[in-house]
Every structure is written in structure tokens, then in C-alpha cells.
Structure 1
């Protein structure tokens, strides 16, 4: 029996059942044409009707909308898949979580007519994976060196494997390339410092391995859709006396 071409409505129905993966499809003008419930929750809307027909700029904060539109423009212009983009996205309830996004061009009559996107929720590593003991040493190294991020070669040496082997194993266990894993660790540390200390943003930047505050702000906003200052103010609301948590 040869390969079976599934109808589009069957694929949409399949994605509708997924809870840990956000799915959406857009036309060439950037309008959402299909979304699943996980995406609806991500957009902060009540149902699909409130999302379908809209553009990213109508649903998300400017920094995120601009990033999504830039990604879409690349896929539409080049006709090539955009793979494994690391993003910090708010889960249901407002808790930030790490996702990997892939965007695929949709072709019709020899041209690109839209984009299909999936964002996978990155969960914890599989503790039964035989590579985890070696990778645990890498995790410890990265945690100890957030202010001076290790290079991939150092991480590979710590794990006792080649750089290419480290890449394969980290993708299999964590869903991330080594450089993405390091970046996630740095931003996670920044989130912790922003919410549990009153350190100035410049000091938070240095503590997380960024050479200055503007570089830190750009990277944080690119991944989280808001600046570090905005994240801090939202996470630590001002109390009745004007200082500290409410």
C-alpha cells in the first residue's frame, strides 16, 4: 500500500486534540485561518472565532507580534521551513514556559500561499534516558557558569562525547541544541533575579552573561515578548505603600 494523503480537515481535527502543542495556520496576508484550543488559550481568547481572521498584531504584544511576522515573512519569501525556534511563552494560568516553534510553508500552484506553525511545550527530561548521567554534568556546568556561558566544546568535553554527539543527545533528551539550552538557562536565571531581587537591570544582565543591559533587554524581549522591566513590574506588583510586592 502506498502513502496516504490525509485531508486537511483530518489534520486540523488531529491538532485540535493536542494539549501540549499549539497549532495555527495563516494565509499569505498573515491572517489566522486555523488554530487549535491550545493556541486560543495562548492568545488569551475564549474561542476560535475570536482568533480566526485576525493577525498577530491584534492578538499579541508588539514585540511578539513583530517576531512572529518576521518569521512568517522569511518562510513566505524563501519557501523554506523555519525549524526549532526557541520561545518563552505563557502557558494557561500565566506561567511562562519554553517552547520550540517550527513553521512550514504551504504551497499551491507553484507558489507559497501560507504558513503552518506548531509550538511544542518543552517538558522535563526523560529520567530513564541512558545519556542523562553524562548530560547531568553538562546541566551542572551550565548552571554554574550562567555569568560566563560555556562554549559547546566545553560542554561536550564535560559530557565525554563529541560536539556532534552532544548535539544529538541534548536534542533527544531536552529538545534543545546546546546553545539553546545555555540561552534558556540564562533567561531562566534572569527571570528568577527579576522576581526575587531588586538588583538593577544592568547587574541582572551581567549576572546572566550579557555584556551590557541593552543586549540583555533585546534578547529577553525577543524571547519573552516584553522587556525585563515590564516582566518585573508584572511579576512583582507594587503594594499599597508603593514598594515591594502587593
Structure 2
């Protein structure tokens, strides 16, 4: 460890840890982020407790007000598999004093509807010490993707859908769009908010979620039809992106559909 590297804060009392983080944040921050209904925001202290959240986060946590969130941990608000993933991310950011940027995640919105988000977490430092982190998760609004598709990207979307179970190369996507791979990445980031690789991964998981809920296919068959190498790789990727195993997702999805 070099002398210039930020230090993690010692484990203080929960109230003291929260105050350290509050002192390091601008009071206008949450007010500003409350203006964006498509972005979840939270700040966590080094004990893993929420210190600040915006209205969108409150809704995501299925609570009525920020008072029901502040002071709690992920495990007190979310399903165990989700909480475990969130806290693994938090520990990395806090211990390494290093940001986690644009993590693609499938998150259940308020009411149980799944949606794709890009999550970024940044360490917060005060006087060279890490005192907490701030996090945003931006809703990619995939329900409206078709309305956003323009020009050559229509052919890219069709190509991905047609070849999903056989594998899709970035070069083939660029050829379909009639541009270089660099230009394709810029266009897809502008329209979808995703890199080509992230777009393909999202398409695979989207197909898998539909097959899990709408069919009785075995998990191995779902994996193949969604373009994954095998069932273990499918399960690992699915858990990483959704925080749930395919079997758990199938059970919950069918339960919601039956209500």
C-alpha cells in the first residue's frame, strides 16, 4: 500500500459513521437527484447502513418514506441474494477505494416488474479516508427501446435476435449496421445506453427470463436457447446480473403472473 492511497475508515459507531459521510456530502445532492425519477440514488456509510436515499430508491425498496430506509442495511430491505450481491460490491468500493462503473443489473422495479439498470458506485473520501460510498442505478427503460431504435441499429437488433442462440460477434453487428466497431459502440451507447457486448448479454438474459416464466423447459434447454455456453455459465451469469438463481426467478415470476 502506498502512502497516497486513501485509507478505509476504522469501524466507528453507526451514528458516528453516518455523520462522517453526511459531513462529506453536499446537502443539495439528494435534492437534485430527486428530480430524476429514472435514477435510484443512495449513500452508505462504512458500516453498510443507508444514510441518504432519493424517492426513487424508496419506491424500489417498497417503503413509504426515506425514514423507513435510512439507518438500515441491504439485508434489512432486500432479498438475501440481492443484499449479498450489493454488499459484495460495496465492500470492493470501500476496501479498494475504487469506483465500480456501469454494472449491468436486472432489478425488480416497484410492483415486481423486472427492469435493466446501469449501476455506478463511487467511494467518498474525507481527509484521505474513505468514509462511505454513493451509488446510482439508472433505469434503461427497456420497455421503450423499440421507440428509440433508429436507422441502421434496427438491423443490429434483428441480427442479435436471429443469432442469439448461435453466438453474436461484435464485428458482425458492425457489418449489419454498416459502420466500424467503434462507431457501433458510440451509436449503441447513445441509443440504448449500453455497449454492444452489454446489449447482447441483456438480450440473452431477457430471452432466458421469458423462457423461464412462460415455458416448462429444463434449465439446460433455456441456457442453450438463450445463447449461453452451458447451464453452469448461464446460472453464474444470471445470478450475477439478477441476484437470483434461474429457478428462484421462475418461481417468483410465475407467482407474480398468477396474482
Q: How many residues align?
A: 233
Q: Is the 8 A contact 2:61 2:110 kept in 1?
A: no
Q: Which structure 2 residues correspond to residues 8-157 of structure 1 after superposition, within 5 A?
A: 8-123=26-141, 124-125=144-145, 132-157=150-175
Structure 1 unaligned residues grouped into runs of 5+: 1-6, 239-243
Aligned partner of residue 218 in structure 1, secondary structure: helix
Q: Is the 8 A contact 2:125 2:132 kept in 1?
A: yes
Give the deviation of 1:217 after TM superposition: 1.6
Aligned to 1:3: none
Q: Is the 8 A contact 2:148 2:191 kept in 1?
A: no
CA distance in 2, matches of 1:70, 1:237: 28
CA-to-aligned-CA distance 1:58-107 (integer Å, 9 cap, x gap)? 22222221221121122223323221111111112211011111111111
CA-to-aligned-CA distance 1:175-211 (integer Å, 9 cap, x gap)? 0011110011001101111111111111001111112
| Greater percentage in helix | 2
Q: Supply the RMSD in Å over aligned alpha carbons.
A: 2.1
Alpha-carbon distance change, 127 to 231 in structure 1, aligned in 2, over 3 angstroms: closer
TM-score of the pair, normalised by structure 1: 0.88
CA distance in 2, matches of 1:231, 1:176: 24
Give the deviation of 1:125 after TM superposition: 4.2
Alpha-carbon distance change, 163 to 231 in structure 1, aligned in 2, over 3 angstroms: same
Q: Is the 8 A contact 2:223 2:234 kept in 1?
A: yes
Structure 2 unaligned residues grouped into runs of 5+: 1-24
Alpha-carbon distance change, 127 to 237 in structure 1, aligned in 2, over 3 angstroms: closer
TM-score of the pair, normalised by structure 2: 0.84
Q: Where do 4+ consecutive residues of structure 1 move more than 6 Å?
A: none
